[in-house]
Amino acid sequence: MDALTRIRYLTHHYQDLQGYRLLPFAVFFLVGTQYDYWAGYGYEQWKVDYDNTWLMTFGIGMIALGSIAVIASYLIGRWYEERYGYIAPHPDVPRAFPEQQWLILVSAPFIFGFLAGTHDVLCWVGLWIMYRQVKTSPAFVRHVPLAVLYILLVFTFPGIDSGAITYPEPGINHLVVKNLVAAFVLLVAALWNHHLLETLRAPSAVPSEEEA
């Protein structure tokens, strides 16, 4: 890769390359694995004695965890600014999704989930959208679509029993696997993107005018 291509790539994709910003979300999903064990156990108990205290605790726990992940990701963004610098992206550089596509992407899994009677697909699609969004949005904490997505994830993970979306009865194990996969994907993406940033930052200094 010649110097000009490297410079252009790094400048265009600087926000994408801030890989460590994904780490808090990997932790979020990893901890969610343990929560899912608990939630599944709670669901079994709930069916017997109709005590839904676990659901409230679980929901609050997930909201708190997610909030911590978003704040931590924002702080890591600040660290990148201190260490590697700050740019205002070019207005002509396209975002991952235009707003109208966002609406479809966020609403479609909800509809599908209601029709299918499962929330599992919501988690997968939500995870994918979140990954794309975090990678492309420079100030995602203030970005409304991510907030929508976050709420979607929070509501789908505990498996709110609304009458249409039901918690999968034997599904504790597959939820755990899903969370582990999600955490692993985010972890790999985080490390890879940061590695790419380190590789692309000025490997050899540009010669000064006197040397050229």
86 contacts other proteins (rule: CB under 8 A): yes
CB 194 within 8 A of CB 18: yes
Binding mask 46-85 for other proteins (x = CB under 8 A): --------------------------------x--xxxxx
Measured from the CB atom, the residue of 79 and 184 that comes closer to other proteins is 79
Measured from the CB atom, the residue of 61 and 138 that comes closer to other proteins is 138
212 contacts other proteins (rule: CB under 8 A): yes
Compute the least distance from the CB of residue 138 to other proteins, in Å.
Answer: 11
Compute the least distance from the CB of residue 143 to other proteins, in Å.
Answer: 18
Cα–Cα nearest to 176, from 56, 62, 35, 46 = 35
Measured from the CB atom, the residue of 15 and 133 that comes closer to other proteins is 15
- CA distance linking residue 3 with residue 55, whole number of Å: 55
10 contacts other proteins (rule: CB under 8 A): yes
State which H helix or E strand residue 177 sits in.
helix 172-200
Cα–Cα nearest to 69, from 23, 125, 123 = 23
Please give the residues from 187 up to 206 whose contact with other proteins meets the rule CB under 8 A.
201-206
Cα distances (angstroms) measured from residue 33 to each of 24, 83, 84, 170 = 14, 33, 34, 15
Measured from the CB atom, the residue of 117 and 203 that comes closer to other proteins is 203
3 contacts other proteins (rule: CB under 8 A): yes
Measured from the CB atom, the residue of 100 and 208 that comes closer to other proteins is 208
68: Cβ contacts below 8 Å, ≥ 6 apart: 24
90 contacts other proteins (rule: CB under 8 A): yes
3 state SS of 117 = coil
182: Cβ contacts below 8 Å, ≥ 6 apart: 29, 123, 127
Binding residues for other proteins (CB under 8 A): 3-4, 7-8, 10-12, 14, 78, 81-91, 201-209, 212
